[in-house]
Amino acid sequence: MNIDIIKNECKKQRINSIIKYNEPLKNHTSLRIGGPADVFCSPNNIEDLKKVVSISKEYDIPFRVIGNGTNLLILDNGIRGLVINLNKGFKKIEFSDKIVKVGAGVSLVYLSKMALNRELSGLEFACNIPGTLGGAIINNASFKRNYMADVVQDVTFLTRENKIERTSKSNLNFNYRECNLKGKSVIILEATLLLKGGNKEEIESKISENIEIRETKQPLYKLNAGSIFKNPPDYYAGELVEKVGAKGLSKGRAEVSSKHANFIINNGCASAGDILYLIEEIEKRVKKNFGIKLEREIEILGEP
Ligand SMILES: Cc1cc2nc3c(=O)[nH]c(=O)nc-3n(C[C@H](O)[C@H](O)[C@H](O)COP(=O)(O)OP(=O)(O)OC[C@H]3O[C@@H](n4cnc5c(N)ncnc54)[C@H](O)[C@@H]3O)c2cc1C
């Protein structure tokens, strides 16, 4: 890809948002792993976003939007083309009684706090899911049987053709860690959520309960990307990983967490290759011992 073409086009079109070249994506993932993006753009507003998408279309450059990078393993040679990370203008929250309009770049943790402040219930489960609203909708993020799908009413997104479209919840086909916008080249811009009136103390108590469960069970203070595998029907992925003796297994500076076997942690300077080695090793062992093909929850992007 000719980066100079992009540089010139961005100047010509007066894009005022942050644009970086050969930006290390480890700066944008919770695992702190990931090679460079050819072009990394953080549009501040819809106008700049549309300009960037039109450049990508005109020069046939692929783009990929990322949120907080908390469900990603980006490989060591990074991502060719354009990586988009929504900035300021996509981080707005507007409350109107129990209806909330939320920008796709808003952090779930912050959103959950704002809902608590307004005594609105429905986002307690999201109190420490470290992603953005956009990533949470794509993955139908959940905790303890509470899902994004329970609160989303509609989603507004930008298509590859640079058109803004809105779709209602019934068309999104929310499922376990997916909805039907996943894998399509669309950029979620905002969503409307419907919450319930609640009691501040009860909401706070649910939040504290969720935080306690996580703190006792998950390696929250180590670099990680949440659960590596989806739970297969009738099983917990973490239990299967333990049963095949992979808990604590390590490769380089990557390690299967000894606190929760469905988490892999970066003990500092692990490569994506190290993490991938552990993922593949677990998959082989679980297939061999139980005949179960584990499905990955973590998304692997980029070039090895
Ligand atoms: C400590 C820890 C705990 C976690 N706990 C949970 C949990 O309890 N439940 C749970 O479900 N997940 C959990 N996760 C995983 C992760 O936080 C969620 O999947 C989250 O929703 C991902 O959001 P993100 O912004 O980080 O998305 P990213 O990881 O950046 O991206 C994920 C996917 O969403 C797409 N995407 C992101 N933004 C947009 C957008 N605006 N438009 C279109 N596509 C977009 C990306 O292209 C990618 O396909 C955890 C992760 C960590 C590190």
Distance in Å, CA 85 to ligand 1 centroid: 13
Is it the case that residue 127 has pLDDT exceeding 80?
yes
Q: What is the ipTM metric for this complex?
A: 0.99
Whether the predicted pLDDT of 1 surpasses 80 = no
Q: Which residues are catalytic?
A: 177, 227, 297
What is the average pLDDT score of the chain?
97
Phi and psi at residue 48, to the nearest 5°:
-65, -40
220 lines ligand 1 (CB under 6 A): yes
Cβ–Cβ < 8 Å for 247, 258 = yes
Q: For ligand 1, say whether the CB of 64 is within 6 Å of any of its atoms.
A: yes
- What pLDDT is stored for residue 180 in this prediction? 96
The pLDDT score that the predictor gives to residue 2 is 78
Asked if residue 108 lies in contact with residue 131, where contact means CB atoms within 8 angstroms, the answer is yes
| Residue nearest ligand 1's atom 10 by CA | 141
Q: What is the per-residue pLDDT for 279?
A: 98
90 and 190 Cβ atoms separated by less than 8 Å: yes
CA distance 204 to 67: 26
Q: Which of 138, 184, 210, 298 to mutate for ligand 1's pocket (most ligand atoms within 8 Å of CB)?
A: 138
Q: How far apart are CA 82 and CA 62, in angstroms?
A: 6
| pLDDT tier for residue 5 given thresholds of 50, 70 and 90 | confident
| pLDDT tens digits, 223-271 | 999 999 999 999 999 999 999 999 999 999 999 999 999 999 999 999 9
CA of 140 to the centre of ligand 1 (A): 9
Ordered by where they begin, the domains of the chain are 3-88 (3.30.43.10), 91-216 (3.30.465.10), 218-301 (3.90.78.10)
Rounded Cα distance between 154 and 65, Å, is: 20
Lowest mean pLDDT among 2-11, 191-200, 258-267: 2-11
CA 132 – ligand 1 centroid, Å: 7
Res. 164: pLDDT tops 90: yes
Nearest Cα neighbor of 236 from 276, 294, 283 is 294
Q: What is the pLDDT of residue 4?
A: 86
Which pLDDT does position 3 carry in this prediction? 85
State the pLDDT at residue 114. Answer: 98
For ligand 1, is residue 85 a contact (CB within 6 Å)?
no
Question: What's the whole-number mean pLDDT along residues 208-213?
Answer: 97
CB of 132 within 6 A of ligand 1: the answer is: yes
